[in-house]
Amino acid sequence: MDLWFTEEQTRYLKLSFQVKEVLENKHSHYQNIAVLDTENFGKVLILDGYIQVTQLDEFIYHEMIAHVPLITHENPENVLIIGGGDGGTAREALKHPTVKKITLVEIDREVVEVCRRLFPETSASLEDSRIEVICEDGFSFLKNTPVNYDVIIVDSTEPVGPAQSLFSYDFYQTAKKALQDKGIVVAQTESPFYNRELLQQSLNHVKNLYPLAGLYLAPIPSYPGGLWSFTLGSKGNDPRQINYTETCFLKHCQYYSQEIHKNSFILPPYFEKFMEDME
Amino acid sequence: MDLWFTEEQTRYLKLSFQVKEVLENKHSHYQNIAVLDTENFGKVLILDGYIQVTQLDEFIYHEMIAHVPLITHENPENVLIIGGGDGGTAREALKHPTVKKITLVEIDREVVEVCRRLFPETSASLEDSRIEVICEDGFSFLKNTPVNYDVIIVDSTEPVGPAQSLFSYDFYQTAKKALQDKGIVVAQTESPFYNRELLQQSLNHVKNLYPLAGLYLAPIPSYPGGLWSFTLGSKGNDPRQINYTETCFLKHCQYYSQEIHKNSFILPPYFEKFMEDME
């Protein structure tokens, strides 16, 4: 059977890949959840038609969203992950020995269930005793939590559907209140080529709310345009000037390194100019 | 009309984009030449079904293939471009005031003709008095040229069809003979995600033949996987340790900068490891 999946990357751009087998395809309360086995990417998790995780390149995304804020903080103990039901971000956060507790708030219980079954390489982390998985809306959880976190990681889906509120000014403001004095928030903020307005908006929210703001990039071949952005707000250390108080986790990294961390904040001139023009 | 073009990026992966208008679609002696006007990428040049140049991102490719070797050389006067019939690489090379002569050897006269008509932003450079355009096979030209060049830039199509020989050991050996004592060769060497064997092979050829070899990367959203590789061989300076004797061209760059140059040679650990494993 010649079976293909097609993702609408933009209104005018589609990526299609050949499917060996449909391992899962169902509707949860929140979204469509599909897992496909493919030649090009290995197993792929797709939510509402958008690629979330592929076995080919998930390590790049998960290492960059986790290690950059955690190493910038220097002594992260208490971590909140919003989204990330596949467990990949949690897996990376667990590599830091300072981390005592990770609270993972995933809105969709069925994403966690599907990933526990079909993505053991990311979801095995969820069995760790330092992890608590809570299935509810991440923004609501954040508004009501009495805890102050060292690092909040927003590992969300696209800014349509259940994740929409996670890109708002209110969200970043609420996150700031739920952070310790030297706390850090980081969020995936889409393609710098195809979704610049959202990225600019997120960065402006962070610049207006946090003493330090940063934008960093990583190449992720299965995502639109192959380059992804992350926006970081810090009440403490500058992510561009870091002291490696801990380096053991580096030997378990495939993409992240000290040089890659530094370089990921260097933007090309046209992109710097674009970001300035938007201010 | 709902018109779409589809590129087969790998056997299992396709990119499709919506087409506003087909501006050109013909067969030359060597290949199919098409130019499409699109919503996502602006005008796109396609040779034998593969995207070569898009108005959205051509500056990234052309700046990186030209400025990295030219600035590494320090005093490039005589430049040979093999391929590059669109004129984009020549446009970038002309930004260096030391460059006195550029010989552009494009196998397909009709590519030059089509680009002169439809891509003035890249092909206008071909009217410069420092440029000589020769329409013949690049490898044959190189074998017979009595000139020794400071920099040879291989701005070729995919390693199928007319460009196949440009990725061979023989080619890099012939290029070495046609270079001055401190000469530099650079070539586009495809996707580091989807065409690693070719990249590794090219890098091995260069390592075996040149005192210094380097591999650098740039994000190009319209190319497969969104990340592209360039392989460089040097008989003189190290591309990782450069003195900027000339910086005026920088203000005309949209992607290239001194920091981007340095960073483009930094590979993530998994990729370093892969390249070592292949040796």
What residue ranges define each of the domains in chain A, with the CATH number in brackets? 4-54 (2.30.140.10), 58-278 (3.40.50.150)
pLDDT tens digits along A53-92? 999 999 999 999 999 999 999 999 999 999 999 999 999 9
pLDDT at A278: 60
In this structure, are residues B109 and B135 in contact, taking their beta carbons and an 8 Å threshold? yes
Q: Is B247 on the interface with A (CB under 8 A)?
A: no
- Please name the residues between 28 and 87 in chain A that touch chain B, using a CB distance below 8 Å: 38-40, 56-57, 59-60
Nearest residue of B to residue A217, measured between CA atoms: B219
Give the pLDDT confidence score for residue A144 in this predicted structure. Answer: 97
Interchain CB distance below 8 Å, B263 and A266 = yes
Sheet holding B131-134, edge to edge: B131-134, B101-105, B78-83, B149-155, B179-188, B227-234, B212-219
Chain A: give the shortest CA distance to residue B208, in Å: 27
**Residues A219/A268, Cβ–Cβ less than 8 Å:** no
User: Looking at chain B, which runs of residues are DSSP E strands?
Assistant: 3-10, 13-27, 32-38, 42-47, 50-54, 78-83, 101-105, 131-134, 149-155, 179-188, 212-219, 227-234
Select from A13, A217, A221 the Cβ nearest to the Cβ of B40: A13
**Cβ proximity of B188 and B198 under 8 Å:** no
Helices A169-177, A196-209: inter-axial angle, 10-degree rounding = 40
- Rounded CA separation A24/A33 (Å): 7
Test A17 with B18 for CB contact under 8 angstroms. Answer: no
Contact A14 B15 (CB under 8 A): yes
pLDDT at A75: 96
Chain A residues 194-233 with CB within 8 Å of chain B: 194, 217, 219-221, 223-227
| A133-168 pLDDT tens trace | 999 999 999 999 999 999 999 999 888 777 888 999
Q: Contact B154/B164 with Cβ under 8 angstroms? A: no
Token pair of B143 as six digits: 């074998």
Residue whose C-alpha is closest to residue A87's, from A41, A44, A21, A133: A133
How close does chain B come to A173, measured CA to CA in Å?
33
Using CB atoms and an 8 Å cut-off, which of residues 162-191 of chain A contact chain B? 191
Q: Is B265 on the interface with A (CB under 8 A)?
A: no
What is the count of residue pairs from A and B with beta carbons less than 8 Å apart?
114
- Written as six digits, the tokens of A46 are 């797709």
Return d(Cα A134, Cα B112) in angstroms, integer.
61
Closest CB from A13, A227, A255 relative to B270: A255
- A274 — contact with chain B (CB < 8 Å)? no
User: What percentage of chain B exceeds 90 in pLDDT?
Assistant: 91
- Whether residue B4 and residue A14 make contact (CB cut-off 8 A), yes or no, is yes
Q: What is the pLDDT of residues A181-219, one digit of tens each?
A: 999 999 999 999 999 999 999 999 999 999 999 999 999
Whole-Å CA distances, A119 to A32, A116, A206, A222, A237: 17, 6, 33, 17, 34
CA distance B279 to B271: 13
Query: What is the value of pTM for the model shown?
Result: 0.96
**Residue A259 to residues A63, A137, A241, A250, B17: CA-CA distances in angstroms?**
14, 36, 12, 11, 35
Distance between CA atoms of residues B147 and A247, nearest Å: 52
Provide the pLDDT confidence category of residue A33 given band limits of 50, 70 and 90. Answer: very high
Residue of B nearest to A274 (CA): B254
pLDDT per residue over B210-254, tens digit each?
999 999 999 999 999 999 999 999 999 999 999 898 899 999 999
The CA distance from A86 to A113, in Å, is 9
Report yes or no: A132 and A102 within 8 Å, Cβ to Cβ.
yes
> What does the DSSP 8-state code read for residue B10?
E
Ordered DSSP codes for A183-250: EEEEEE---TTT-HHHHHHHHHHHHHHSSEEEEEEEE-TTSGGGEEEEEEEESS--TTS---S--GGG
A137, A155, A181, A238: which one is catalytic? A155
Type and span of the H or E element at A52: strand A50-54
Where does the pLDDT of residue A279 fall: very low under 50, low under 70, confident under 90, or very high at 90 and above? low
In A, minimum Cα distance to B224 occurs at A221
Q: What pLDDT shows up at residue A263?
A: 97
Report the greatest alpha carbon distance in chain A: 57
Catalytic residue numbers of B read: 155
H/E stretch holding A16 reads: strand A13-27
pLDDT tens by residue, B140-151:
999 999 999 999
Q: Give the model confidence (pLDDT) of B8-51 as tens digits.
A: 999 999 999 999 999 999 999 999 999 999 999 999 999 999 99
Which residues of chain B make contact with A225, given a CB cutoff of 8 A? 219, 221, 226
Give pLDDT, residue A126.
Answer: 97
**A170 in active site:** no
Contact B219 A219 (CB under 8 A): yes
Chain A residues closer than 8 Å to B240 by CB: none
Best to test chain A binding among B1, B11, B40, B266 (most A CBs inside 10 Å): B40
State phi, psi for A155 to the nearest 5 degrees. -105, 75
DSSP string, B118-168: H-HHHHGGGGSTTEEEE-S-HHHHHHH----EEEEEEE---SSGGGGGGGS
Residue B279 predicted with pLDDT over 70 = no
Give the model's confidence band at A131: pLDDT under 50 very low, under 70 low, under 90 confident, else very high: very high
Nearest-neighbour CA in chain A from B228: distance (Å): 10
Query: What amino acid occupies position A80?
Result: L
* CA-closest candidate to residue A139, choices A101, A179, A167: A167
**Residue numbers in B near A220 (CB within 8 A):** 226
Q: Which residue in the set B191, B225, B268 is minimally distant from A255, CB to CB?
A: B268
The C-alpha atoms of residue B58 and residue B106 are separated, in whole angstroms, by 18
B2, B261, B270, B272, best to mutate vs chain A, most A CBs in 10 Å: B270
Closest by CA to B218, choosing from B204, B228, B206, B233, is B228
